[in-house]
Structure 1
Amino acid sequence: MRTNDVRLGISGDIHKLASIARAFRQEKDHPFSNIHHFSLGLRPWEVLDEALIDFLKKQNITLSAHPTDINFSGRLNITELKLLSKTLKPWPVLYIEEDMGLWRTGKLFLGAHQLNPVMNKTSLHKTKLNIVDASEILELPITVENPPIYYEAGNIDFWDYYLDLCTFSNSQMAFDIGHYIGYCKSQNQSPVYSLPFHDLCNLIRTVHISGIKSWRWNGIAVWLDQHADEFKTPSLTLLKTAVERSCNISNILLEMEGASASAEANNIERVSTLLSEHLYHE
């Protein structure tokens, strides 16, 4: 892996992207100067500021879109997909990324109470077809993100599920480290801070990293993918392994919604240092 080809990215909404644009204009040494990718979270009906397109192009910042309303594991809303396609058409979006599972029921957004994908053959088949259909409507490639799974439903192995899903739908994977650590905890195992030698590693296009909180509640292990916190060593260790073992990662996405300016600066510095000093260069 040529780590100098891996971009650092930040996730957020249109207001966060605008704040990054202001930081670039006002402060030459701002930590955001190391950011060269942005994952834009949006709803299908949002109106985007076209003035930011020039900023992205001028600063050579790549863009992905992360809509929060696509139910790949359920029934697609074709009307909203067509609206989203129209919304994104003028924007330089490289790909769509979306969590698996159900995130909306009717007009109700489920948020932290989303329903995770069922890892069985029936659900897998439906999800495959949904991804293909959505990609054709949006006219963009899709990366599928492992969601914050609190349990395992179904009889298909985690890695086998995503390998089959990506292979059939001609998509790639957005590997979320915090979500994966939570998945490992849900199996009553010590968190797994290494990736298996698996074909799926080469299908990982982006790696997401965030802060994590862990505690015990009435004797039960609880964890939270906490975007506002600073990154911790276990997550950085898994990030290092993911980048080393994968050949096609285009960006590392720093999920820091709600973080303080100092936490953002520290996180950017830690990941930048990891890339420049501890990973292999070719």
Structure 2
Amino acid sequence: MWSESKGSGLEALGLGLSATPREALEFCARKERGEAGFRDLGYLNIGVASYSDIPEELPERLRRAGLGTVSHLEEFNLVEPDIDLGVAERVARKAAVLSPAWFQEDLGLWSHGGTALFGHMMNAMHAEADVARVAGNIRRLMAHTGMLFLAENAPAYMTVEGMDLLGFLSQVAERADCGLVLDIGHLIGYCVATGRDPVRYVQQWAGIERVVEIHVAGFQVLDSPHGPMWLDDHTRVIPARGLEVLGTAVERASNLKALTLEQDGAVPDVVLHNLGAVSAVVAIS
């Protein structure tokens, strides 16, 4: 629980990469070889679902490479009235072999009506009823599994809100007594949709003290007849605006323990470029 640690008791992991369980084996090998860009990695953010196949040798490979882990759950609709605690228990038990420092999940819809939404995941509506429902689900999840949980802001292509995103995250974290993951690209998407300046928005956010992990990745902002449109795209080089917002968030997040570069689908040259760019921002901040 956040109230027990206030962030200070959590392990500092440093810079990490997102990975599937299979990709994690490759990244362990590259870290052990001391490849450029990988030698300074502190951990892997490994996506785990009830259907995930975790290689038997992965825990030992992580240990040999000196890599910690966090686990990104990939199938819980925490914004809906009820979550399947049986599935939650199975996923937590599966991920536990990786000894994650904490678990995390986006506050949005991974699926709807039995259809997986994947890259078209929908964010929560920011209303008082949603705060109570999401916080209640998080409390039940933590109580049932005994796992430390961080709530993440979901991708936001549009918003129907009774309160702003960061206010919503703060209220959820307070009521659920949990920490937060701040996704920089998702935040910028929200700011594009609502006409906010993301740097000023982060600078004014008192709740940033609950941010334990930050995510950063590539994205696009495209022109359209209806105004600018943000697209999440982890295969791309991180734009300068993303690095600027990242620097502001890193500077202000007093309980920050981990910074995850999400690069699913990116070619090796882009991964190495982004690792260098993010490392430079962290060194400056």
Q: What TM-score, normalized by structure 2, do the two folds share?
A: 0.90
Kindly provide the amino acid, as one letter, of the partner of residue 160 in structure 1. G
1:266 to partner: Cα distance? 1.1
1:99-142 deviations in Å (ceiling 9; x for gaps): 01221235421223333211111111111110011112222111
The 5 A counterparts of 1:94-243 are 94-105=101-112, 107-189=114-196, 191-194=197-200, 195-243=202-250
Summarize the Cα distance change of 1:265–1:114 in structure 2 as closer, same or farther, 3 Å threshold: closer
Kindly provide the amino acid, as one letter, of the partner of residue 52 in structure 1. L
Give the whole-Å Cα distance in 2 for the aligned partners of 1:197 and 1:229: 29
Summarize the Cα distance change of 1:106–1:79 in structure 2 as closer, same or farther, 3 Å threshold: farther
Tell me if the contact between 1:94 and 1:140 (Cα under 8 Å) persists in the aligned partners. Answer: no
Q: State the match for 1:265 in structure 2.
A: 272
1:84 to partner: Cα distance? 0.9
Tell me if the contact between 1:9 and 1:38 (Cα under 8 Å) persists in the aligned partners. Answer: yes
Tell me if the contact between 1:120 and 1:154 (Cα under 8 Å) persists in the aligned partners. Answer: yes
What SS is found at the alignment partner of 1:93?
A: coil
Give the whole-Å Cα distance in 2 for the aligned partners of 1:179 and 1:70: 18
Kindly provide the amino acid, as one letter, of the partner of residue 50 in structure 2. P
What SS is found at the alignment partner of 1:39?
A: strand
Match of 2:40 among 23, 34, 40: 34
Q: Whose RCO is larger (CA < 8 A, sep 6+)? A: 1
Tell me if the contact between 1:44 and 1:84 (Cα under 8 Å) persists in the aligned partners. Answer: yes
Aligned pair 1:76/2:83, yes or no? yes
Q: State the match for 2:70 in structure 1.
A: 64
Kindly provide the amino acid, as one letter, of the partner of residue 91 in structure 1. L
Give the whole-Å Cα distance in 2 for the aligned partners of 1:188 and 1:241: 19
Give the RMSD, CA atoms, in angstroms. Answer: 1.7
Give the whole-Å Cα distance in 2 for the aligned partners of 1:235 and 1:86: 35
| Alignment gaps of 5+ in structure 2 | 1-11
Aligned pair 1:21/2:37, yes or no? no
1:219 to partner: Cα distance? 4.3
Give the whole-Å Cα distance in 1 for the aligned partners of 2:109 and 2:219: 23
Tell me if the contact between 1:143 and 1:173 (Cα under 8 Å) persists in the aligned partners. Answer: yes
Tell which deviates more after alignment, 178-187 or 132-141. 132-141
1:215-259 deviations in Å (ceiling 9; x for gaps): 123343222121011112111111111111111111111011111
1:81 to partner: Cα distance? 1.0
Q: State the match for 1:54 in structure 2.
A: 60
1:7 to partner: Cα distance? 0.7
What SS is found at the alignment partner of 1:165?
A: helix
Tell me if the contact between 2:173 and 2:179 (Cα under 8 Å) persists in the aligned partners. Answer: yes
What SS is found at the alignment partner of 2:277?
A: helix
Summarize the Cα distance change of 1:116–1:275 in structure 2 as closer, same or farther, 3 Å threshold: closer
Tell me if the contact between 1:9 and 1:37 (Cα under 8 Å) persists in the aligned partners. Answer: yes
1:160 to partner: Cα distance? 1.6
| Alignment gaps of 5+ in structure 1 | none
Kindly provide the amino acid, as one letter, of the partner of residue 87 in structure 2. E
Give the whole-Å Cα distance in 2 for the aligned partners of 1:247 and 1:273: 19
Kindly provide the amino acid, as one letter, of the partner of residue 114 in structure 1. M
Kindly provide the amino acid, as one letter, of the partner of residue 126 in structure 1. R
What SS is found at the alignment partner of 1:33?
A: coil
